Structure 1
């Protein structure tokens, strides 16, 4: 059900409509909306937790970064496009998904699961029904 209310003030007319999804208001003396409640579609997201294995040079010695970080990526991007995340410690870029074939050195792998499987490493996936697992909970589960 829509309700309209008009406000008359010094010959300026303003219409405010309220509905179940938000408010649609028109600006003074205009018929164009200046604010509209957007219908927002919430896209599924993945929470990625990984340990950086990039070699970094520190005080003349080369060592593995070893920084554990957490990144949130969209499910659509992971399965359809290219996803690159940056380690916050060493600023090294990591290819997480390449569904467009931009990187030829992946030997046909399209995502981090396939890349790690080729290297003989383990990938842990967590899904608990329809519940959203917080970043803190993921850190507790994996550490």
Structure 2
């Protein structure tokens, strides 16, 4: 089982959107039984809550399921339990480094889009622009999935990669 964790500050906008998009991508490719996908927050302010109302509305409009997602705070165990730990911005890295020390296995999601210079995924609760965030997340999640398929040598018969 390949385990992927997406992390942002509150786990109510960017990381749950990434989780939902990634889950849809792996399901489309028939790989959903090979993955465990989750998302978490660096802070604890929204633990137990669903994604924000605006993110739920946006994901619904895009026909992307999200109903299982609830905010939770990242734990020290997550750093060893997940194979791929993917963060949304530099602040996430700073918090995780301060809290847990060694974070060499953590990567920026936008590292999968080398043409994008700013590695911080914009927070739609700040920008009001869900489509910009969605487009970045979709492209980078597609590249992340392609990377994992190659690295893990997954058998993807009839998959459109």
If the length of structure 2 is used for normalisation, what is the TM-score? 0.27
Q: Could you tell me the TM-score, scaled by structure 1's length?
A: 0.29
- Higher percent of residues as strand: 1
Larger Rg: 1
